[in-house]
Amino acid sequence: MRLLRRSMVCATLVCFAVTLSAAAQAADRVGAWDNPAADLARRIADQLGPSSAHLTFRNVSGISNESLPTIRRLLTDDLKTAGVTLTSGDSANAVHVTLSENVRGGVWIAEIVEGNQTRVVMVTLDRPAESAAAATQKVALHVQAIITDSALQAAAVNNGSNARLSHAVLAAAQTNGALVVLFPSRIAVFDNTPQGWTERAHADLGVGRGVSRDPRGVINALPDGSGFEAFAPGIACSGTYAPAAGQGAAWTLHCHPSDDPWPLAGSSAKAFYNSARDFYTGAISPSSGFDLPPFYAAGVLPNRAAGPALLAGAVEGKVILAEHGELKPVAGTRDWGSYFAVVSSACGAGAEVIVSSSGEGKSESLRAYEIPAQEALAVSDTLQMPGAVMAMSPAADGKSAVVIVRKPADNVGAHEYEVDRVTATCN
């Protein structure tokens, strides 16, 4: 009996919590419905004039049922304000409102029936951004969005063309309080101001340059804080930072054609990049006496018994350690995807490898590993990411990773990019 009562109390609490949550979500949206409801009411009133009408209401869109009473109330209030008297069904006029949608967002439609004449008015709504699902992992890995696609688009300075720019994000890095973002056709520096992200400087990479279908790039924040160097296929860029009075900072960006090797994260070594096939060739500069197989990602494990070792994710899928002049395969990497970053934490061995999963779904997860010997051991739960991981690199502080995520947008086939910071903390 006590058990039953406890279950009922629990169920009530859960139900209450769910109701509160739903109510909170619906309340969050109220602001979003205000304008379209007012706009639609105004358009209806323009057609009807001050008269009475019977209002019907239906929803064929993805708007949740919890939001419908709110929208109906807003519309009713706005119609009354506009001089339309709503009746319970004995009016000669009828207004049939349908909350519909297409790939670009909401379409709210009112069919206004006066006698045997029907007129149609519509308003459109931008599709609301999906709220990222709350991470539910126990601890260890934490994700924080640095900048979202919409903020990037808003911040990027339009080049005057009405052609849609590719907004794919190849790489990002934080330095001197700014965010450097490498796109397929430009590199830009953004400042986070009280008014939001603002583009401070940018350089075009050039449209005549050879491009790739799987474009990649790296940004290396210089350790002395003087700026950054960045590389994309066939081009190298540099950014110089100079503190300036009042405005915060001045950035100077230069790009030039280049086939120079790209810097390897956490190392002074550089690796040659095959721009035609989108991978590192395996040739390292300065040469350590042997070449690696072609690889996608690499990082330095600093605290190995025999000194630092280079960890590389080979093109053909294996993960190898270059240590002591030897190539050693790493076991336990079956679930590894193509992206990883080595970060330092105060936990365990002090160096964790944050690795993308091998899933091919719409979203992927990250997991931290340690490699004490030749086997990768998972040391964290998986952290679900809001989309597919497209790039990863250690942050300038060495303690976290900058992760580029491509999220499916609401439009069929569309994607949005987001720059996230993922940090490993002790459990």
Partner 1 sequence: MLRRLAIRAVFGLTALLLALPAAARTRPRYGDTLRVEVSGDPWERPGGLARRLVFDGLTQMAPDGELEPALAISWASENNDHRWQFRLRPGVHFHDGSSVTTTAVVASLMASCTANCPWDSVRALATSIVFTSDEAMPQLPQLLAGSEFLIAKGAGADPDGGTGAFEVSGFANGTLTLAANDSSWAGRPFVDAIEIRVNRAVNDQWIDLAAGRTDVAEVPAESIRGAQQQHLNLALAPQAEVLALQLSDRGALANANLRAAIGYAIDRNAIANVIFQKQGKISAALLPQSVSGYAFLFSAERDLNKAHELRGGMTPAPLVLTAGADAALQLTAQRIILNLREAGFNVQLAGPAVRAADMRLRTFAMQGADAAGDLVSVALASGLAVPAMGAGPSSTYNAERELLEHRTLIPLVHLPRAWAVSGRVRDLQLRYDGSPVLEGVSLEAAK
Pick 298 or 396: Cβ nearer partner 1: 298
Name the helix (H) or strand (E) containing 25: helix 2-48
Pick 264 or 396: Cβ nearer partner 1: 264
Site for partner 1 in 113-132 (CB under 8 A): 120-122, 124
Pick 125 or 178: Cβ nearer partner 1: 125
Displacement of CA 36 from its chain's centroid (Å): 27
Site for partner 1 in 255-284 (CB under 8 A): 276-279
Residue 364: strand, helix, or coil: coil
CB of 250 to partner 1, least distance (A): 29
Among 91, 98, 363, 423, binds partner 1 (CB under 8 A): 98
CB of 60 to partner 1, least distance (A): 7
Compute the distance between CA of residue 106 and CA of residue 339 in angstroms, rounded to an integer. Answer: 37
Q: CB count, 10 Å around CB of 107?
A: 17
DSSP code for 116: T
Q: Using alpha carbons, select from 16, 26, 111 the residue that is nearest to residue 63.
A: 26
Pick 158 or 247: Cβ nearer partner 1: 158
Asked if residue 141 lies in contact with residue 399, where contact means CB atoms within 8 angstroms, the answer is no
Asked if residue 119 lies in contact with residue 47, where contact means CB atoms within 8 angstroms, the answer is yes
Residue 299 binds partner 1 (CB under 8 A)? no
x/- site string to partner 1, residues 58 to 87, per CB under 8 A? --x---------------------------
Name the helix (H) or strand (E) containing 393: strand 388-394
CB of 337 to partner 1, least distance (A): 4
- What b/e readout covers 77-87, taking b as 16+ CB neighbours within 10 angstroms? ebbeebebeee
Query: What are the structure tokens assigned to 421, written together?
Result: 């910071």
Q: Using alpha carbons, select from 217, 227, 234, 228 the residue that is nearest to residue 183.
A: 217
Pick 106 or 394: Cβ nearer partner 1: 106
Residue 104 binds partner 1 (CB under 8 A)? yes
Site for partner 1 in 200-259 (CB under 8 A): 207-208, 210-215
Q: Binding residues for partner 1, per CB under 8 A?
A: 60, 98, 100-104, 106-107, 109, 111, 120-122, 124, 160-164, 166, 207-208, 210-215, 276-279, 296, 313, 315-320, 326-327, 329, 331, 333-339, 356, 358, 360, 364, 388-389, 409, 411-415
